[in-house]
Homo-oligomer: A and B are copies of this chain.
Amino acid sequence: MNRIQHDAAQLRAFNRFHTGRIGVLNERMLDSRLSLAQVRVLYELSARNGVLASQLARELGLDPGYVSRLLAGFRRKRWITTAPASADKRRRPIVLTKAGRAAFEPLDRRSQTEAEAMLAPLDSSRRRRLGEALRTVRELLGDSSLAAGPVVLRSHRPGDIGMVAQRHGELYAQEYGWDERFEALVAGILARFIENFKAERERCWIAERDGQFLGCVFVVEKDADTAQLRMLLVEPAARGLGLGKQLVAECVRFARSKRYRRMVLWTNSVLDAARHVYESFGFRLVEQGKHSAFGKDLVEQTWELDLAAN
């Protein structure tokens, strides 16, 4: 069994577990008179005012005729009414009545209570771990309704040094085939960064979203007048957000505020995306040369930005 087959088998095992664990709870919904389909429709109605029957059918994967009948049933109980028609007279947006809300509310509360009961045996750190895992699954299986949190920049704390080294190591291995010596180089730089850390002259930014590492950048003192930008990294998952620019902008702003006169950085010709970011800030290529490292033949470059200008 190869890797993807194994992963798929895991996914199936999870699905069986989940239908067993959750599905059964739902089947005859919490000893109300309502079927699972009815509850799902009610939930949608309560969450989104004015949905169309056709939307419900499509999104919940139900037969349109069946949905029509379910809705007819709700209408008979006066749980829903048809909203004043829009321009298109075929459409009849559905809204829950007060009675409908009242009928749904205890179900909703009950289901909430069940979920809480499931979490009760877990301590808060486990709950957080569970929450992250659930979010990860949804994200990776492409839940479009999953609202992403904001990107936050923060300074470093324990665990970050290793994380930054690890992501450098894995990413550059994946994308450029560099071997573990690159990761070691980064680890060494990071180690020195912490050991000689000058809070007034140096800084790092870790970008996260929902606790997930998205990228980082470091500014270290090269000499009294020169700041060095190091270890700019943007996760593939975060590309296209302008995160690289944002991180470099922080560095430049910081360096200016600390009265550095110039900023330099070392990079590599294969890193196209990064180069474009540097260029956009006015960095100029001042030196380059071939070298061999990390199991590859590379062209290293030194870029410089005059901070005194403009």
Q: Kindly state the separation between the CA atoms of A118 and B118 in the bound complex, as whole angstroms.
A: 28
- Cβ of A133 within 8 Å of any chain B Cβ, yes or no, is yes
- Does any Cβ of B come within 8 Å of A104's Cβ? no
Complex interface: chain B residues within 8 A of A124 (CB): 3
| Complex interface bits, A15-37 against B, C-beta within 8 A gives 1, otherwise 0 | 11111111110110000000000
Complex: A173 Cα to B174 Cα, angstroms = 30
A190 interface hit (Cβ, 8 Å): yes
Taken together as a complex, chains A and B put the C-alpha atoms of A132 and B23 apart, in Å, by 22
- Which residues between 167 and 212 of chain A lie within 8 Å of chain B, taking CB atoms? 167-170, 172-174, 178-188, 190-195
Asked if B167 and A162 sit within 8 Å, CB to CB, the answer is yes
Report A23 CB to chain B, min CB distance, Å: 7
- Known contacts: A184-B161, A187-B188. The answer to whether A130 contacts B140 by CB under 8 A is yes
Q: With the chains together, A221 CA to B200 CA distance in Å?
A: 38
Cβ-defined contact, B170 with A161, below 8 A:
no
How many residues of A are counted as interface, with CB atoms below 8 angstroms from the partner's CB atoms? 92
Please tell me if the beta carbons of A168 and B162 are within 8 angstroms of each other in the complex: yes
Assess whether A14 is interfacial by the CB under 8 Å rule: yes
Q: Mark A122-142, 1 if CB is under 8 A from B, else 0.
A: 101111011111111110111
Tell me whether A61 is interfacial, beta carbon within 8 Å: yes
Question: Within 8 Å of chain B (Cβ to Cβ): is A154?
Answer: no
Residue of A8, A157, A182, A185 with most partner-chain B CB within 10 A = A8
Contact status B119-A129, CB under 8 Å: no
Asked whether A160 and B180 contact (CB < 8 A) given A3-B124, A7-B130, A170-B125, the answer is yes
Chain B residue nearest to A180 (CB atoms) is: B158
Among A9, A61, A137, A146: residue with most chain B CB under 10 A: A137
> Residues of B contacting A182 with CB < 8 Å?
158
Q: How far is the CA of A157 from the CA of B182 in the complex (A)?
A: 11
Please give, as numbers and ranges, the residues of chain B lying within 8 Å of A23 by CB-CB distance.
Answer: 19, 23, 61
Q: Is A276 an interface residue (CB 8 A)?
A: no
Say yes or no: A159-B163 contact (C-beta < 8 A), given A11-B115, A12-B115, A27-B61.
no
- The CA of A190 and the CA of B15, in the complex, are separated in Å by 40
Enumerate chain A interface residues (CB-CB to B < 8 A): 3-5, 7-24, 26-27, 40, 43, 59-61, 111-112, 115-116, 118-122, 124-127, 129-138, 140-143, 145-146, 156-170, 172-174, 178-188, 190-195
